[in-house]
Amino acid sequence: MAENTDLELDRAQVKKAIQALQAFLKTKAGGDNLLLDDSQHISLLFTLWKIPKKAQTIRIPLPHGQRSDTEEVCLFTRDEPNMTSEQTQRFYKRLLEERGVKYITEIIPYKVLKTEYKPYEAKRRLLGNFDMFLSDDRIRRLLPSHLGKHFYERKREPMSVNLQSKNLARDIHRVIQGTSVKVNNKGCCCMARVGHSGMTVDEITENIEAAVKTMMAKLLTKGPVIKLIHVKSQTSVALPIYTSELSHLTALEEAKTAQAAKKKKAKDKKQKPKDNSEEAKKEDTAAEKTVNKKKAEDEEEDEEIPQLVPIETPRKKPKVEKPLKKKKQQMEKAPKPAAVKKGRKAQKKLAKKPGKKDSKVKRKVPKVK
């Protein structure tokens, strides 16, 4: 839980921001109230001092309903035993009428969701047909694999409701007309829907105050939490209604220094016994060395060892290398290998043979009788 739950909003500043948003929406509609009837959403944008360590979903009940009557709500229910899908639809419609629930426009059993809305196009059509989705808490864990990623990318995943509760109408009314904030651990900004453009200024301001109080009370981060709060619509610029003081920076720095001091103290406590043990070891080694030195001195006094004088031995003269002339002469006089000679002779013979054949051609001489 957050430590500082007191956050004072300037009510006059909040009203000015809401009036500016409504004036902007009217001018954009060109003086026609059709855009206001289409319910432009008005949301709060929270900027935190630091990124939370854990993701969190906070449900915020609002004093005034932030959804218009034209919005359609879909409810996913479980399959009742020994009943067909049509019978389960009739059963839950009768149950909601008896309990006084009026906001739900369509009921889809789990079996129908698995069979009829299995194709990709059917899931996209289902997402576009309804503004909000509720689910029985008994089948909530089974829905993600059948709904697809588009419900979760657009933050339109179904909110769980206990259909077996005694105060069913009150619980569903709180979920539908309330809002929720998804605090992510990947960034420091989160948004909550607080009203629509058709509401009055006082209703929206009361919703904003309630949302800020519950947000401060249910956040899990410690220390100063909220840095900035803005109000915006779907097509407008964010208008600031709260900015925290710079004294929060000093508080954060003090908290960081306190944590660092605690860590240092813990490290020093761990290192002290190690240092004491190392000093004791050093003292023991020094004492052992002194004892060994005394023993060695006593032994030297008991037995005097005669000093040995080194004898000088005659050194041999280094050998002088002989000139290499004789080696070169021997190499020149050395006979060539016979194989090389034979090879050269054979080459000479081959070169001479074709000439000899031409010169020594026998001519036939006629015999004289």
Residue 163 lies in a domain: yes
**Same-domain pairing of 145 and 77:** yes
Residue 44 lies in a domain: yes
Distance, first Cα to last Cα, the chain: 150
**Same-domain pairing of 48 and 188:** yes
Q: pLDDT tens-digit profile of 161-214?
A: 999 888 888 888 888 888 888 888 888 888 998 988 888 999 999 999 999 998
Q: The domain that contains 27 carries what CATH number?
A: 3.30.190.20
Pure H helices in 178-246: 201-218
Q: The domain that contains 115 carries what CATH number?
A: 3.40.50.790
Average pLDDT estimate for 72-77: 91
* Cβ proximity of 251 and 223 under 8 Å: yes
Q: pLDDT tens-digit profile of 33-72?
A: 544 446 688 899 999 888 888 888 888 888 888 777 778 8
Tell me the residue range of the domain where 9 lies.
Answer: 1-65+180-193+200-247
**Same-domain pairing of 73 and 159:** yes
**Same-domain pairing of 106 and 6:** no
**Same-domain pairing of 170 and 184:** no
Structure tokens at 61: 């009940």
What single DSSP character describes residue 240? E
Strands 159-161 and 132-136: parallel
Share of the chain above pLDDT 90, in %: 17
**Same-domain pairing of 184 and 60:** yes
**Same-domain pairing of 185 and 115:** no
**Same-domain pairing of 211 and 235:** yes
Task: Mark residue 215 as left, alpha or beta (left: phi above 0; alpha: psi -120 to 50; beta: remaining).
Answer: alpha
**What pLDDT is attached to residue 107?**
92
**Same-domain pairing of 61 and 187:** yes
Nearest 10 degrees: Cα torsion 159, 3, 52, 134: 0
User: How many domains would you assign to the chain?
Assistant: 2
Domain-terminating residue out of 146, 177, 208: 177
**Same-domain pairing of 117 and 90:** yes
